[in-house]
Structure formats: structure tokens, C-alpha cells
Amino acid sequence: MPIFLCLLNCSFPVWAPNPAKITQVSASPTQTQATHLKSLIREIQNWPKPGINFYDITTLLKDKSGFSETINALQAQYKNHPIDIVVGIEARGYFFAPAMAHAFGAGFVPVRKPKKLPHKVNSVEYALEYGTDTLEMHADAILPGQNVLIVDDVLATGGTAAAVAQLVQMAQGTVAGLAFVIELEFLNGRAKLPGFEVYSLLQY
């Protein structure tokens, strides 16, 4: 089966999820809307190497109506949630998270790879299939009790998203949800996000 490269080898750190959040959301846009948005995402076979099926979202981003529709649909899912901060995951989460923050009237916080942030940071090391990786967030980026929405382009194995949820909890923030534009269901990333509200706009 062709697979998507991004996050493929990630697993997740061992940690306890916030027990206050227990919903796994599986709502989806209308069939017409989903078909339209998927038509704007370019699929590239065998890139960047044979056997990889790559979903290129740059073709969605450049379409002004499609990009707006994506942000509006993601925002609608969380319209009844009090969102104080939207966290974006490096790198393609940055395409969507700031727009989501603007839509909610919330702040935006980037999560980055090591040695990219200039001030004191919290770090989470998480397991990959062959080794580990690390993500960092400024220690003062989130205040205790703030409601945080985590946004990324793709939910694949769930390891990176789980690490970011841990960073939010280390800052004593509340994970209001995790939102993704695309979910690769055959990789079962939701299984690594137990106890959290998880939403994906498009499923493959």
C-alpha cells in the first residue's frame, strides 16, 4: 500500500493524557465539500521516493476559496470551544494555525525543532522507529489554564501530535482539541491520542 512520508516513522512518548477530554470526534464535512477540497490537493505518486504517495497541499493553499473553506470548516468544528491559543506544529502546521488563531481571535504559538527558539523552552523527546526526535516550545508560551487547540496539516502515526499535547500539558494548559486537515486512517494515529478530542477534515 502506498504510504505518506510525513511522520511515518514517529511513535509517541509515554505520558498520561488529560482525563478531562475524552471525546474522539469523527464528524466530517459534507460529501460535496470533501470532494471539492480533495480535488484541490495534488497527489504525487512515488515521491520523494518509490512507494510513497505524497499529498501536496500547496495546490489547496494557493486556491483562495479552497483555503478559506478549509479554515472556516476547521473553525466551525470548534466554534463552541473557548480557544485562547492555537499551537502550530513545524512546519506545515504553520500554514493553517495562524489563520485559525486569527479566526478565533486567539494567540498563535509555534512548536519547533531543537535550537530554533531563543528563550527558555520545554522539550519533549519522542520515539521514532529508528531513534528519537525532539520538539520544543517556549516555556512561557502558554499560561496555566489556557485552552489550547493544536493544529497540523496531517495526522499520520500520531507521534508528533502526542508530543505536542504533552508540551501543552507541561505548561499546564488544557488541550481543547487537535485539528488536522488530512488524516491517513490506515496509520491509525488516533490510537496514540487517547483521551483527546481529535478532528480531521479529510480522510484518506
**CA dist 4 → 47, 161, 190 (Å):** 9, 16, 16
H/E element holding 170? helix 159-170
Residue 101 belongs to some domain of the structure: yes
pLDDT score, position 29: 76
Distance CA 146, CA 55 (A): 33
Rounded average pLDDT over 88-100: 97
List the CATH number of the domain containing 183.
3.40.50.2020
Distance CA 73, CA 114 (A): 32
pLDDT tens for residues 157-184? 999 999 999 999 999 999 999 999 999 9
Residue 195 belongs to some domain of the structure: yes
Of residues 15 and 115, more confidence is placed in 115
Residue 42 belongs to some domain of the structure: no
Residue 2 belongs to some domain of the structure: no
Rounded average pLDDT over 77-83: 96
Residue 146 belongs to some domain of the structure: yes
The total number of structural domains in the chain stands at 1
pLDDT score, position 127: 84
Residue 5 belongs to some domain of the structure: no
- Catalytic-residue membership of 42: no
- Catalytic-residue membership of 112: no
Choosing from 42, 125, 129, 185, the catalytic residue is 129
pLDDT score, position 179: 98
Q: Which of 12-26, 45-59, 148-162 has the lowest mean pLDDT?
A: 12-26
Residue 6 belongs to some domain of the structure: no
Domain around 105: 80-203
Whether residue 108 contacts residue 44, with contact meaning beta carbons closer than 8 Å, is answered with: no
**β-bridge pairing 53-56 and 198-203:** unpaired
Residue 1 belongs to some domain of the structure: no
pLDDT score, position 149: 98
Choosing from 69, 92, 112, 190, the catalytic residue is 92
